[in-house]
């Protein structure tokens, strides 16, 4: 097992910083957030290069999904920090008159953030923004599968932020395991349900609260939009939300499409045209398709396609290049529902389309499967929208677009059921790392005598 150099000393330094109270000061939180902003601006080039090196992401995509989104998030936190940090007065029952009560936000303490590789900066720094804004000290363990990004995080955070309060510890599952043995005040985990179970088991030992940001299969219901403008726009957003976001390696990326049989052929024809517009006749030469993260995942995706029944369902794409970890944006029509591709999270540029007699059947289809992180529906049918809202459950439900919810500070980002629990982004990130303490201040002026023993029937009547 790779030992973490002097972990105890590092953690003691963090605890000492927290005990000193300096991270609770608004000035410290603000200065750290501002430094993070400076880091993102000054080290943009290093970040974009690392993302290209790790996952072959185009710098424009990286800016849109990581640097740009993070700059927006830090600015949002800076704008609202004072409001978030302030106590809120609340009412008390008449029996407690006269009393004042308030909810006082306080930091949880020492927190551990374990992140994933597909958006290595966003998934590390979005929680970090919340943790710092809330006044905590933090250990961040980025994913070993994106080593260039992990290394940029370690070096830059060390030089821009207070390194007695924020530490990056790099490494794989052995390092993760050693970190999980420690006592934390909060663990914020992004990754697979398998590792989430390990995290929760370790957290249970110390009664540590956890946020679990997991994945799953996000369906997109695609209705036969009658207007050609709407249809074209929908297809662009579907393809962008699948192939144009880390080549489908996104937790909220579209996993599969549900559409009506009679619409499937024309949908596919239009998707082919739009895919060519986005990635060219030879996508292998396109600089707009990210690469598969590593050989293990490449072979996992290849295996999904190697099933003869699945292979026979490919209607577009399907070429693979192991040397360059490239998989062509691929569309499939009606692969068997029992095949692995329809039961495991795909997490790659393969897009199955499942055709149904009636679009309303999509609701039962979705309900019969584990609850998704996101459901997308491209439709103008208000009745279908209402049914999806009331009859299905998911972390988020987005009409007529995909992925866009990740960029919002005002809606919570997180899963439900198998896609995780807890939420973050904007104020929700602050809350994820905050304990809201109930502070009740009574006066001595008046008292209701019937609140106290000895008990009798008359006091019971008065209490009722």
* Residues comprising the chain, all counted: 464
Q: Position of tokens 């403008």?
A: 229
Number of helices (H), then strands (E), belonging to the chain: the values are: 17, 18
Distances in whole angstroms, Cα of residue 160 to Cα of each of 41, 43, 270, 429: 12, 10, 48, 21
Q: Using CB under 6 A, which of 157, 195, 210, 246 touches ligand NAD? A: 195
Q: Using CB under 6 A, which of 67, 251, 292, 301 touches ligand NAD? A: 251
Q: Position of tokens 């019971």?
A: 460
The span of 20-28, 40-48, 207-215, 375-383 binding ligand NAD (CB under 6 A) equals 207-215
Integer Cα distance of 236 and 16 in angstroms: 52
Residue nearest to ligand NAD (CB): 215
32 sits near ligand NAD (criterion: CB under 6 A)? no
Q: Using CB under 6 A, which of 69, 73, 118, 379 touches ligand NAD? A: 118
Q: Which of 257, 249, 255 is nearest to 289 (CA)?
A: 249
Nearer to ligand NAD by C-beta: 196 or 239? 196
Q: Is 345 a catalytic residue?
A: no
Integer Cα distance of 455 and 464 in angstroms: 14
Tell me phi and psi for residue 108, to 5 degrees.
-75, -35
| Residues of span 68-107 touching ligand NAD by CB under 6 A | none
Q: Using CB under 6 A, which of 123, 234, 305, 314 touches ligand NAD? A: 123
Nearer to ligand NAD by C-beta: 102 or 418? 418
Q: Using CB under 6 A, which of 39, 113, 125, 180 touches ligand NAD? A: 180
214 sits near ligand NAD (criterion: CB under 6 A)? yes
The span of 93-101, 187-195, 332-340, 385-393 binding ligand NAD (CB under 6 A) equals 187-195
Catalytic residue (choose from 61, 251, 328, 345): 251
360 sits near ligand NAD (criterion: CB under 6 A)? no
Q: Using CB under 6 A, which of 114, 235, 245, 332 touches ligand NAD? A: 114
Nearer to ligand NAD by C-beta: 144 or 360? 144
Query: What secondary structure does DSSP assign to 262-306, as a single string?
Result: HHHHHHHHHHHHHHHHHH-S-GGG-SSSPPPS-HHHHHHHHHHHH
Rounded least distance, CB 216 to ligand NAD, Å: 7
198 sits near ligand NAD (criterion: CB under 6 A)? yes
Integer Cα distance of 271 and 265 in angstroms: 10
172 sits near ligand NAD (criterion: CB under 6 A)? yes
Q: Is 213 a catalytic residue?
A: yes
The span of 82-90, 168-176, 266-274, 441-449 binding ligand NAD (CB under 6 A) equals 168-176
The span of 99-107, 141-149, 278-286, 376-384 binding ligand NAD (CB under 6 A) equals 141-149
Integer Cα distance of 220 and 156 in angstroms: 38
213 sits near ligand NAD (criterion: CB under 6 A)? yes
Distances in whole angstroms, Cα of residue 173 to Cα of each of 150, 202, 347: 14, 14, 20
First-to-last C-alpha distance (Å) of the chain: 64
Q: Which of 162, 219, 229 is nearest to 368 (CA)?
A: 219
Q: How many residues bind ligand NAD (CB under 6 A)?
A: 28
Nearer to ligand NAD by C-beta: 203 or 234? 203
Query: What secondary structure does DSSP assign to 356-406, as a single string?
Result: ESSTTHHHHHHHTSPPEEEEEEE---HHHHHHHHHH--EEEEEES-SSGGG
Q: Using CB under 6 A, which of 173, 204, 295, 463 touches ligand NAD? A: 173
For the four alpha carbons of 74, 77, 82 and 84, in that order, the dihedral sign comes to negative
| Residues of span 393-452 touching ligand NAD by CB under 6 A | 415, 420
Q: Which residues bind ligand NAD (CB under 6 A)?
A: 114-118, 123, 141, 143-144, 172-173, 176-177, 180, 190-192, 195, 198, 213-215, 251, 345, 347, 373, 415, 420
């Amino acid at each position: 097992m790779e030992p973490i150099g002097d972990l105890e000393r590092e953690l003691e330094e963090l605890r000492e910083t927290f005990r000193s109270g300096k991270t609770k000061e608004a000035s410290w939180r603000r200065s750290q957030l501002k430094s993070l902003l400076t880091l993102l601006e000054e080290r943009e080039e290093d970040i974009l290069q690392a993302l290209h090196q790790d996952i072959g992401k185009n710098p424009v995509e990286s800016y849109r999904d990581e640097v740009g989104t993070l700059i927006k998030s830090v600015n949002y936190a800076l704008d609202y920090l004072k409001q978030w940090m302030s106590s809120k007065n609340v009412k008390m029952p008449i029996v407690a008159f006269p009393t004042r009560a308030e909810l006082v936000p306080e930091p949880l303490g020492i927190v551990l953030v374990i992140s994933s590789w597909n958006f290595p900066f966003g998934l590390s720094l979005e929680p970090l923004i919340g943790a710092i804004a809330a006044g905590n000290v933090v250990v961040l363990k980025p994913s070993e599968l994106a080593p260039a990004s992990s290394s940029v995080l370690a070096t830059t955070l060390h030089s821009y932020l207070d390194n007695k309060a924020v530490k990056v510890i790099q490494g794989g599952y052995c390092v993760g395991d050693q970190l999980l043995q420690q006592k934390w005040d909060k663990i914020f985990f992004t990754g697979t349900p398998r590792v989430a179970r390990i995290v929760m088991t370790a957290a249970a030992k110390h009664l540590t609260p956890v946020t679990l940001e997991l994945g799953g299969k996000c369906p997109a219901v695609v209705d036969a939009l009658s207007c050609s403008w709407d249809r074209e726009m929908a297809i662009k957003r579907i393809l962008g939300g699948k192939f144009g976001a880390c080549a489908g390696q996104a937790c909220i990326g579209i996993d599969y499409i549900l559409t009506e049989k009679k619409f499937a052929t024309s949908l596919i024809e239009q998707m082919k045209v739009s895919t060519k517009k986005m990635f060219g006749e030879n996508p292998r030469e396109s600089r707009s398709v990210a690469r598969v993260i590593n050989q293990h995942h490449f072979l996992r995706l290849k295996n999904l396609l190697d099933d003869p029944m699945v292979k026979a369902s490919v209607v577009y794409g399907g070429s693979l290049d192991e040397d360059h970890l490239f998989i062509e944006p691929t569309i499939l029509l009606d692969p068997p529902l029992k095949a692995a591709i329809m039961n495991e999270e795909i997490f790659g540029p393969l897009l199955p389309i499942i055709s149904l007699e009636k679009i309303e059947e999509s609701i039962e289809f979705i309900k019969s499967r584990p609850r998704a992180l996101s459901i997308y529906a491209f439709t103008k049918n208000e009745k279908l929208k209402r049914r999806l809202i009331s009859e299905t459950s998911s972390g988020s439900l987005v009409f007529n677009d995909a992925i866009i919810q990740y960029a919002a500070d005002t809606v919570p980002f997180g899963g439900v059921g198998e896609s995780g629990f807890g939420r973050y982004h904007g104020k929700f990130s602050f809350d994820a790392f905050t304990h809201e303490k109930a502070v009740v201040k009574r006066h001595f002026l008046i008292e209701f005598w019937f609140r106290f023993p000895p008990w009798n029937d008359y006091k019971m009547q008065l209490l009722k």
